[in-house]
Chains A and B, each alone.
Chain A
Amino acid sequence: MKIVTKAENLDNHKKYIFILQLIDDFLQKKDYQKIDLPVLSPALIPESYLEVFETEFKFLDKKEKLYLTPSPELFLKRLLAYKIGNCYYLGKSFRNSDPPSSLHSFEFTMLEFYKTGVNYMEIADEVLELLNYIKYQISKIKNTNQKSNIFENQKISFNKWEKISVAEAFEKYAGIFEKELFDHQLFLQKARKKGYQVDKFSYEDIWSQIYVQEIEPHLGKNGYPTLIYDYPKEFAALAKLNSDGQTAQRFEFYINGVELGDCYTELSDWKEQKDRFIKEYLERKQNKKINHPIDKGFIKALKYGFPESAGIAIGVERLAAVFLNLNSINELKVINIE
């Protein structure tokens, strides 16, 4: 890898910085408290497939392992348990997985915000308002010096969501019916019939493959952003389950086939969270991921009394690339590690 200076991207970068400001403006006007947080932590939330960066603190003969946070979730949710109310983080997060690409970087800017007393669909309303706010403010600063203006070529409206449930999407785009979608055995049978290599792979492996191959390319392409909701419980992460017992209150949103955000109604049941943590921890071990300590304080915080709330994580570079009509997040950067 090397450090690449791209001064020619300064114009895009300025607009990106402006979008960051707009996000702050919007949330602060709505009384969300901005929180600055550490990016190095001695413990993390265990997530089975997500690899992290590991480093070490050294002082004289003292040594301690630290990990770059893949999301601010563990910190913000502790604070929610202390009843600080609506809050957000806008800053760096780190994920040690794929090589950098047009949509992915191992270090990226994340907006994560939480609102208390609401569920995931109410966060969706807030997000739509945020998108409209950014679009409106950008259109106001139309500058005659700028050749192609932000958003001019985008034929997308933020007046409403195109909402589709995961089950509806699998039926519509992949011909997989609800009965098959949630039953592991039926699902794998169906996938084999469709020509996927199924042997030795898990439900989650094949599900994700079909989702990426057959569902994602259709999302956010009908003139509105798409909100795809109610994921199978296997993909619940830290989300609350629906009363059907098989889906979680979680949505992702897409524009032009690109995933921009991931939202859920927060799981507040500490016992269930603890069970999920243990399961994820064991899966991490099995997947030979870095063996970081589990953040036990997080479970304690939940025990202490976690308010009903929902939160969303949004990839800000991707979002800015959509607004600026760029094909790659790298076009926003004046210094890039490639």
Chain B
Amino acid sequence: MRINAGNLKKGDFIHYQNEIWQVQKAEFYSPGKGSALMKTKLWNVKSGKNIDVTFKSVEEVEVVDVESRLMTFLYKDNENLYFMDEKTFNQYPVLLSSVSGLEKYLKEGDKLYVYLYDERPLSVRAPLSVRLKVVEAEEAVKGDTVSGAKKPVKLETGAVIMAPLFIKVGDVVIVNPETGEYTGREGK
């Protein structure tokens, strides 16, 4: 479906330069002269790359119908992450390159939305947060009370993140999988 770029909104998928992109940000902008523009930030569903593109607001862009379907994460190899649609039991490989590091925070059995275009998997929608168990962490040294100080801890998926000094082995921490940032600890 072709629409004017002025109608684009966050979350839309479009065809641009023979690839599929998701609109991350879309803002109107009127230059001093010349027709109104639509400044967008686009995310490439394959490479995970972000680019800024300025469209004329009345310029036509091709919006594509991308479906997001809840699936279960099965396993990964060197190239792909494998997901299963629980209704059909069909398996879908998603290129590792398209998830920009998200794989470090995924556990077998996690449920995520997979983006599909014409039944072809494009990418995965990163969850806002994941909860993972700490498997390795140095003991906090007594008296080390500098607020905001952090230490590296290893999570059950193998990822290493920076967490506050009070985090211990066995704690479940909450992590933003897009940035790898510690955002909290699960209450016991």
Contact = CB atoms under 8 A, between A and B. Distances in A.
B140 interface: no
A235 B52 contact: no
B50 interface: no
B33 A48 contact: yes
Interface string A198-230: 000110111111011100010000000000000
Which label, helix, strand, loop or mixed, suits the secondary structure of the B interface?
strand
A98 B28 CA distance: 6
A197 B55 CA distance: 9
25 contacts: A49-B35, A50-B30, A95-B30, A98-B29, A99-B28, A101-B27, A197-B56, A197-B60, A201-B56, A201-B59, A204-B34, A205-B56, A207-B34, A208-B37, A209-B37, A209-B54, A209-B56, A212-B29, A212-B31, A212-B37, A212-B39, A213-B52, A213-B54, A217-B52, A237-B33
A52 to B, nearest CB: 13
Interface of A: 48-50, 95, 97-99, 101-102, 104, 195, 197, 201-202, 204-209, 211-213, 217, 234-235, 237, 262
A262 B32 CA distance: 10
A204 B37 CA distance: 12
Nearest to A287: B35
Nearest to B35: A205
B37 A197 contact: no
B70 interface: no
Contacts of B34: 49, 202, 204-209
Nearest to B34: A208
B11 to A, nearest CB: 17
B53 interface: yes
Given A197-B59, A209-B56, A212-B29, A97 B35 contact: no
A45 to B, nearest CB: 13
B145 interface: no
A237 B32 contact: yes
B17 interface: yes
A49 B32 contact: yes
A79 to B, nearest CB: 24
Contact of B32 (A99, A217, A235): A235
A120 to B, nearest CB: 16
Contact of A98 (B17, B36, B54, B60): B36
